[in-house]
């Protein structure tokens, strides 16, 4: 029987606390770290250079052995850099023309990998979507996202666009224009702040019906007067998001899926410690049992 989004998520409690984590070469080793954190669900990031052509069975077995639920596979691509706004514009997602075809192929491979692991959805940063819907890059992006959705649909999967690089209104009209039932968003409140695209709580109100999953991430606004600079990502609860307001807004838009903590700081020990304190914070705010 194919695994559907609903049957996978049924294994989880509403607002179950999870983690956005990156796949290493050994699935059991990656999962051991998560188990020590005391979570039993998450989103699996696959770096662009990870060989996913033959590792699906190993992931499927490791997840089953640990009763760990992955509900989204998130794709990143070779050659992406998040150094500053122009670099993101030039390197991330489907906008750079030189890598567009190769990244489209990779998305199909990620979708096939997710299906073989038993994961009901995939997601990625598609890059800066132009606001002008007659821009050739906008049209190319819309057609590409349609093709990915149609590929995912064959596996019964959803496709989630990571938020943050567009205003809520621009993203909403893009989603409506693509017009695919299995398309939605992975709402990341910190990204809206880091890119200076708008108040995330208000944006969540606008985009509420399109939310497939969320990142619990925090950050500070970009420095004033430096239009190319990104804001600083911060440990959950230490930035400008306002985690309590974020949770209240999630409740208001009727979201009851999992809460994946994301922390992107380079140092692994710092990242783990920050995720751990993020888990405690969410447990306290959601009154989730330990």
The residue ranges that bind Mg ion (CB under 5 A) are: 188, 215, 262
Least CB distance to Mg ion at residue 47 (A): 15
Minimum distance from CB of 250 to Mg ion (Å)? 15
Burial zone of 68 (CB within 10 Å; 0-12 exposed, 13-18 middle, 19+ buried): buried
Give the nearest distance from C-beta 160 to Mg ion in angstroms: 10
Nearest position to Mg ion, beta carbon? 188
Closer Cβ to Mg ion, 188 or 218, answer by number: 188
* Both structure tokens of 249: 């807004």
Distances (CA, A) of 48 to 56, 60, 74: 16, 20, 10
Residue 74: in which H helix or E strand, if any?
strand 69-75
d(CA 261, CA 215): 6
Cβ neighbors of 252 (< 8 A, separation 6 or more) are 205, 208
Q: Using alpha carbons only, what angle is made at residue 26 by residues 24 and 28, rounded to the nearest 5 degrees?
A: 115
* In the complex, least distance from residue 255 CB atom to Mg ion, rounded to whole angstroms: 15
Q: What gap in Å lies between CA 273 and CA 208, rounded to an integer?
A: 31
Between 80 and 188, CB nearer to Mg ion: 188
Nearest residue (CB) to Mg ion, 9 versus 74: 74
Query: β-pairing, 183-187 with 211-216?
Result: parallel
Alpha helices in 92-188 (DSSP H): 97-117, 136-154, 168-178
Closer of 20 and 34 to Mg ion (Cβ) = 20
Q: Return the closest-CA partner of residue 71 out of 164, 190, 157.
A: 157
Nearer to Mg ion, 262 or 274 (CB): 262
By C-beta, is 106 or 215 nearer to Mg ion? 215
| Minimum CB distance to Mg ion, residue 238 (Å) | 16
What minimum distance in Å lies between the beta carbon of 136 and Mg ion?
28
């Amino acid at each position: 029987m194919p695994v559907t989004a609903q049957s996978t998520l049924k294994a989880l409690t509403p607002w179950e606390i999870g983690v956005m984590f990156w796949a290493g070469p050994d699935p059991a080793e990656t999962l051991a770290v998560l188990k020590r954190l005391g979570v039993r669900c998450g989103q699996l990031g696959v770096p662009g250079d990870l060989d996913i052509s033959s590792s699906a069975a190993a992931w499927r077995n490791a997840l089953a052995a640990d009763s760990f639920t992955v509900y989204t596979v998130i794709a990143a691509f070779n050659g992406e850099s998040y150094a500053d706004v122009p670099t993101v514009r030039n390197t991330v997602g489907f906008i750079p023309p030189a890598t567009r075809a190769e990244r489209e192929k990779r998305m199909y491979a990620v979708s096939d990998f997710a299906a073989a692991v038993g994961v009901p959805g995939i997601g990625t940063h598609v890059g800066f979507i132009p606001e002008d819907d007659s821009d050739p890059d906008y049209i190319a992006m819309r057609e590409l996202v349609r093709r990915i959705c149609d590929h995912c649909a064959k596996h019964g999967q959803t496709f989630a666009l990571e938020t943050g690089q567009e205003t809520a209104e621009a993203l909403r009209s893009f989603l409506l224009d693509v017009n695919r039932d299995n398309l939605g968003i992975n709402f990341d409140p910190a990204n809206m702040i880091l890119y200076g695209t708008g108040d995330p709580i208000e944006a969540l109100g606008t985009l509420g019906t399109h939310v497939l999953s969320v990142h619990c991430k925090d950050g500070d606004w970009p420095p004033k007067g430096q239009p190319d600079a990104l804001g600083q990502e911060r440990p959950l609860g230490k930035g400008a998001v306002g985690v309590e307001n974020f949770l209240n807004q999630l409740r208001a838009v009727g979201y009851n899926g999992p809460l994946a903590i994301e922390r992107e700081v380079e140092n692994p020990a710092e990242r783990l410690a920050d995720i751990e304190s993020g888990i405690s914070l969410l447990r306290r705010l959601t009154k989730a049992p330990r």
